[in-house]
Amino acid sequence: MKLVILAGGYGTRLAEETKIKPKPLVKIGKKPIIWHLMKIYSFYGIKEFIICLGYKGHLIKKELNRLSKLEKWNIKYVNTGLKTMTGGRVKRIKKYLSDDKNFYLSYGDGLSDINIKKLFKFHIKKNKLATLTAVNYKNPKGVLKINSKSLVSAIKEKPLEYINGGFFVLSNKIFRYLKDDNSIFEKDCLPKLVKINQLASYKHDGFWGCMDTIREKKELNKIWNSKERAWKIWK
């Protein structure tokens, strides 16, 4: 199986870093975050990668070619456009997955200690077009429940919720639900799958972290520089 990595966005919320390099190349420790992601999948035997490039894609290609010299990785780089949305980027790489019944999809800025093999087995068992990984997220704000009379009926202080963790297994049939370059995978494709009961949810209660902001970058680096290194499952 192959892993498709979405690595073409501008990363505007991380502008302090992304003015000079694309977000997947922002470093956690001494290596770019996309390298960490690929090491996670590689540990489970996934050695074929399709990188959906866009903003400063040539830098990603150059750096991964350098880093992959020590890895047995087969990397296909695809220029999916500067302004193409997430669903459009996936749509553009359809021809490279014609022989694959299923494939993995991940964002280029998320890390986890998820068991990729268990994720795939869950996907096969559920027999749906798509499986997303649901991860625990502690809402930093209190949540109000308001009734029909505009009265607060409950207050949940910093509740734990499940959110999309960005680790997917997708059937090759998913492409029929992706329209064009303006298609947003999360807003256009996934809701369609929900309506037809074709989106499964694999719950992962272990470590998960993403890097959308400088604060989150610092948090991931703090974890990596500690003894914990929560997502380092490889030796």
pLDDT digits (tens, 9 = 90+) for 59-118: 999 999 999 998 999 999 999 999 999 999 999 999 999 999 999 999 999 999 999 999
Tally of structural domains, the chain:
1
Does residue 38 lie within any of the structural domains?
A: yes
Token look-up 């456009």 returns: 81
Question: What secondary structure letter does DSSP report for 114?
Answer: -
Q: Alpha-carbon distance 32 to 156, whole Å?
A: 37
Burial class (CB in 10 A: 0-12, 13-18, 19+), 116: buried
Question: What secondary structure letter does DSSP report for 153?
Answer: E
Mean pLDDT of the chain: 95
- Which tens digits make up the pLDDT trace of 155-192? 887 767 899 999 999 999 999 999 999 999 999 999 99
Does residue 126 lie within any of the structural domains?
A: yes
Range of the domain at 87: 2-224
Closest to 32 measured CA to CA, from 1, 4, 68, 2: 68
pLDDT classification of 141: cutoffs 50, 70, 90: confident
What pLDDT does residue 227 have? Answer: 85
Does residue 96 lie within any of the structural domains?
A: yes
Does residue 76 lie within any of the structural domains?
A: yes
What pLDDT does residue 139 have? Answer: 67
Does residue 233 lie within any of the structural domains?
A: no
- Taking residues 13-36, report their average pLDDT: 96
Q: Alpha-carbon distance 92 to 178, whole Å?
A: 10
Closest to 93 measured CA to CA, from 25, 103, 83, 184: 103
Closest to 79 measured CA to CA, from 101, 107, 60: 60
Does residue 214 lie within any of the structural domains?
A: yes
Q: Alpha-carbon distance 222 to 130, whole Å?
A: 33
Q: pTM score, two decimals?
A: 0.92
Torsion of CA 121, 122, 127, 130, to 10 degrees: -110
3-state secondary structure of 207: coil
Does residue 51 lie within any of the structural domains?
A: yes
What pLDDT does residue 46 have? Answer: 97
Does residue 44 lie within any of the structural domains?
A: yes
Q: Alpha-carbon distance 67 to 211, whole Å?
A: 21
CATH of the domain at 46: 3.90.550.10
Which percentage of the chain shows pLDDT scores above 70? 98
pLDDT classification of 136: cutoffs 50, 70, 90: confident
